[in-house]
Amino acid sequence: MVRAVLSADAIVDLALSIVDEDGSAALTLSAVATAAGVAPPSLYKHVRNLAELRALVSARVMSELADQAGEAVLGRSADEAVRALMTAWRAYVRRCPNRYAALIQSPEPHTAEPGERLLAILFATLRAYGMEDSAAIHAARCLRAVAHGFAVLETEGAFGLPENLEESYDLLIHMVIAGLRAPRGGDRPGAA
Could you give the CA distance from residue 166 to residue 94 in angstroms, rounded to a whole number? 13
Considering the domain architecture, whether residues 37 and 64 belong to the same structural domain is answered as no
Q: 104 near 92, Cβ under 8 Å? A: no
Considering the domain architecture, whether residues 27 and 67 belong to the same structural domain is answered as no
Mean pLDDT across 84-99: 98
Percent of the chain clearing pLDDT 70 (strictly above)? 93
Mean pLDDT across 183-190: 55
Considering the domain architecture, whether residues 68 and 157 belong to the same structural domain is answered as yes
Cβ-proximal residues to 43 (8 Å cutoff; 6+ apart), any chain: 6, 11, 29, 32, 33, 36, 53
Considering the domain architecture, whether residues 178 and 86 belong to the same structural domain is answered as yes
Torsion sign over Cα 167, 171, 177, 180: negative
Considering the domain architecture, whether residues 65 and 90 belong to the same structural domain is answered as yes
Domain of residue 61, residue span: 55-184
Considering the domain architecture, whether residues 147 and 79 belong to the same structural domain is answered as yes
The answer to whether residue 109 scores a pLDDT higher than 70 is yes
Q: Which of 22, 38, 192 is nearest to 30 (CA)?
A: 38
Considering the domain architecture, whether residues 13 and 93 belong to the same structural domain is answered as no
What confidence tens digit (pLDDT) does each residue in 2-54 have? Answer: 566 799 999 999 999 999 999 999 999 999 999 999 999 999 999 999 999 99
* Mean pLDDT for all residues in the chain: 92
Distances (CA, A) of 58 to 135, 144, 162: 27, 16, 34
Considering the domain architecture, whether residues 169 and 78 belong to the same structural domain is answered as yes
What confidence tens digit (pLDDT) does each residue in 65-88 have? Answer: 999 999 999 999 999 999 999 999
Ranking 52-66, 72-86, 106-120, 141-155 by mean pLDDT, the lowest is 106-120
Kindly state whether residue 167 falls inside one of the protein's structural domains: yes
Kindly state whether residue 101 falls inside one of the protein's structural domains: yes
